[in-house]
Amino acid sequence: MVTGNQKKGVMKLWYLLLFIGLFGCDKDQTIPFYGYGNPKQINYLALGDSYTIGESVCTTCRFPEQLKASLQASYPNNSFLLQVIAKTGWTTTNLLSEINLVNPSTNFDLVTLLIGVNNQYQNKPFSLYETEFPQLVTKAIALAKGDKSNVIVVSIPDYAYTPFGQGAINISTAIDQYNAFAQNYCAQNEIAFVNITDITRLGLSQPELVANDGLHPSELAYSKFVERIIPSALTAIGN
């Protein structure tokens, strides 16, 4: 004789099998899921100048640290190691020299590159950027395990839209020239390029986007940078 409890068990099993049959066999169904596999260390290298080192904001306020925190939240089972090679005032020449001096490892899962504003500010020939920016991208790829999909180039902020820049059109025009070259180079070479310049162009109308020095981005501005960068970073980490 089948008891009532046995009947209930059979019915539960039948409903479970029906559910699996309806919903469990869709091979095209994908659900994003991060960070709960085998734990591993993710290595992130940030290359740049004052915008990368975070001039006039706290260490954890700069965009590489905020990006690291966002990635950690998406991959809670992994550990993240951030290395920064950047300094206020650096041109492409300075960054190239420092990379050669430091000679970092080539095992980075993610490399970001944001450089060029000091070439413009110091009135370096634009041809210098045309020569050295590609060299920096090549180095970034080599440091990113030789995989260009692990590299993200970030556009140059426009400091014209700060109390220091006072809305100077010539600054914005020059920044556009630098960014256009970088973006075109990245497009031709299938490298991720993230535009954050428009965020910084709100600096005069939204002063909270400018740091206390009246020149560099604030913590809030950097958080908006990260919102733009994080999709490409997640793609790189997920490769």
For 15-72, write each residue's pLDDT tens digit. 444 444 444 444 343 334 444 557 899 999 999 999 999 999 999 999 999 999 999 9
Query: Given a cut of 90, is residue 110 above it in pLDDT?
Result: yes
CA 128 to chain centre: 25
Q: Which long-range contacts (CB under 8 A, 24 or more apart) does 69-77 make?
A: 70/226, 70/230, 70/233, 71/42, 71/44, 71/110, 71/230, 71/233, 71/234, 71/237, 74/34, 74/35, 74/234, 75/34, 75/35, 75/42, 75/237, 76/35, 76/36, 77/35, 77/36, 77/37, 77/39
Query: Given a cut of 60, is residue 80 above it in pLDDT?
Result: yes
* Closest by CA position to 83, among listed 139, 42, 136, 43: 43
Burial of 119 (0-12, 13-18, 19+ CB in 10 A): buried
125-145, pLDDT tens digit by residue? 999 999 999 999 999 999 999
Query: Given a cut of 60, is residue 1 above it in pLDDT?
Result: no
215-239, pLDDT tens digit by residue? 999 999 999 999 999 999 999 998 7
pLDDT average, residue stretch 101-117:
98
Please say whether the beta carbons of 93 and 130 come within 8 A.
Answer: no
Query: Given a cut of 60, is residue 14 above it in pLDDT?
Result: no
Instruction: Give the 3-state secondary structure of 136-152.
Output: HHHHHHHHECCCHHHEE
Distance CA 51, CA 49 (A): 5
Predicted confidence at residue 37, as pLDDT, reads 58
Distance CA 130, CA 139 (A): 15
Distance CA 205, CA 65 (A): 26
Question: Strand, helix or coil at 154?
Answer: strand
pLDDT > 90: what percent of the chain?
A: 82
Question: Is pLDDT larger for residue 158 or for residue 11?
Answer: 158
Beta bridge mates, 45: 83, 111
Which residue in this structure is represented by tokens 């020299």?
97
List Cβ neighbours of 111 (8 Å cut-off, separation of 6 or more): 44, 45, 46, 47, 140, 141, 143, 144, 150, 151, 152
What are the C-alpha distances in Å from 109 to residues 41, 69, 82, 211, 216? 9, 15, 11, 30, 28
Query: Given a cut of 80, is residue 146 above it in pLDDT?
Result: yes
Predicted confidence at residue 239, as pLDDT, reads 77
